[in-house]
Amino acid sequence: MKNILFAASECVPFIKTGGLADVIGSLPKAFDKTRYDVRVIIPKYLCIPESFRSEMKYVTHFYMDFCWKSQYVGILELEREGVHYYFLDSEYYFGGAWPYSNMLEDIEKFSFFSRAVLSALPLIGFRPDVIHCHDWQTGLIPVYLNDSFQGDAFFRGIKTVFTIHNLKFQGTWDVETMKNITGLSDYYFTSDKLEAYRNGNMLKGGLVYSDRITTVSQTYAQEIRTPFYGEGMDGLLRAREGQLSGIVNGIDYSFYDPSHDKDIAAAYDAETVFEKKPVNKAALQRELGLTEDPDAFLIGVVSRLTDQKGFDLIQCVLHEICEDDVQLAVLGTGEWRYEQMFRDLAAEKPGRVSANIFYSEALSHRIYAGCDAFLMPSLFEPCGLSQLMSLRYGTLPIVRETGGLRDTVEPYNRFTGIGTGFSFTNYNAHDMLHVIRMAKEVYRDDRKAWDKLVRQAMKQDFSWKNSAVQYEQLYADLLD
């Protein structure tokens, strides 16, 4: 039995601000439990719902010297759906109304968390063979493990894996402040270790000191070794390319399941999709105030409204996208200019555009179930989950070929009929518009080909079990 500990800053269902939480909440359940004991450790935020906090059982507590103070660290645990969770308690660091605040506070908070994870291990009766660290918030775990903890026999031989979920976010501040917060010596703040462009960098600590580096798709693992996608880390990632691999994310197929989804108007599967999807489309049109028209080409968008997600491309050709026979259903929040862009468009084109500038999990399911196509033209996308959800619901993705979008959406070939969606390569608004129009043309003029694509999309398997097998192999190679 191999013992694996996931360390992360958030985890579904306890606390979620983004896709990282979905990964940490879903992946551990998919491992072969006869061979791998995978547990999770996260902060015990005060903003975790009371329904979960009341289920947590006290294990023990200790005091840890950190940032020139003796800090209380409580350890609580909870078992849910076959996975053992640990929660580190510190009201001083985790008592806010939101998991994250400004960068300086977050650097101190997650430096504390990284050191507390290692300090807690001898007290919980679980010695991991591998600590699997996720994103910059846990980047100091491999560093601390290499530093003061190596003097203790308990920690010798523990391996580390570091997963990059989004290389853009790195946890950086000036070197002197970082040294003062972390307690690490000058030795660690050189250009071959934690210093990067005259700043201390927590993510770089994970990249330098972990035994293996993964990211969340094969294409993104290649892209981040180039200057355009590398966010200043491409040289280091090229140097460590022998220890770098990409494993595409999955989604929880028990949660994203159109055949048992209580949030949609009519449940369906691959056999009943063409009977029931029109029911969901009509219900969504009524709910969002769109003209109830079964022949309209309904495009869905569920996203953070930011440049990274390609909304500058959409802005360039927005009126061309929204032609007479196209409807647009948007759900999400983000940059004010894009929020206002969709509000203005919805006011200008009532019945054709619905701007829902908030987030609702239930409504997102209805958009996946009720739309014909799903637009996701990202500038970069480490993996992406929305396109996996749209495939699961038989809503064909229209994506740019980058990162996980390239790895998970097979572009339609009009000569062979193969494909699961539509894609374009260059980050260009008119290339995107051309592909949207091509998708609309297939939908309108060749429904037989469109229906074949829907069936092929729904047959794809992006459940976590496939990803878990690849992680199991990674751990086995690391420990052999």
Residues 6+ apart with CB under 8 A from 173: 103, 104, 107, 199, 200
- Which whole-number Å values give the CA distances from 101 to 23, 94, 109, 430, 469, in the listed order? 22, 11, 10, 38, 36
Question: What confidence tier does 150 reach under pLDDT thresholds 50, 70, 90?
Answer: confident
Model pLDDT, residue 175:
97
In single-letter form, the type of residue at position 303 comes to S
The percent of residues in the chain predicted with pLDDT above 70, rounded, is 100
What does the pLDDT look like over 67-83, one tens digit per residue?
Answer: 989 999 999 999 999 99
Model pLDDT, residue 88:
98
What's the average model confidence in pLDDT over 165-171?
96
Class of domain 273-458: alpha beta
Model pLDDT, residue 260:
97
Model pLDDT, residue 323:
82
CATH of 2-250+464-479, one of 2.40.50.140, 3.20.20.70, 3.40.50.300, 3.40.50.2000: 3.40.50.2000
Question: What confidence tier does 328 reach under pLDDT thresholds 50, 70, 90?
Answer: very high
The percent of residues in the chain predicted with pLDDT above 90, rounded, is 96
pLDDT above 80: residue 324: no
What's the average model confidence in pLDDT over 13-29?
93
What does the pLDDT look like over 208-250, one tens digit per residue?
Answer: 999 999 999 999 999 999 999 999 999 999 999 999 999 999 9
Residues of the chain with CATH 3.40.50.2000: 2-250+464-479, 273-458
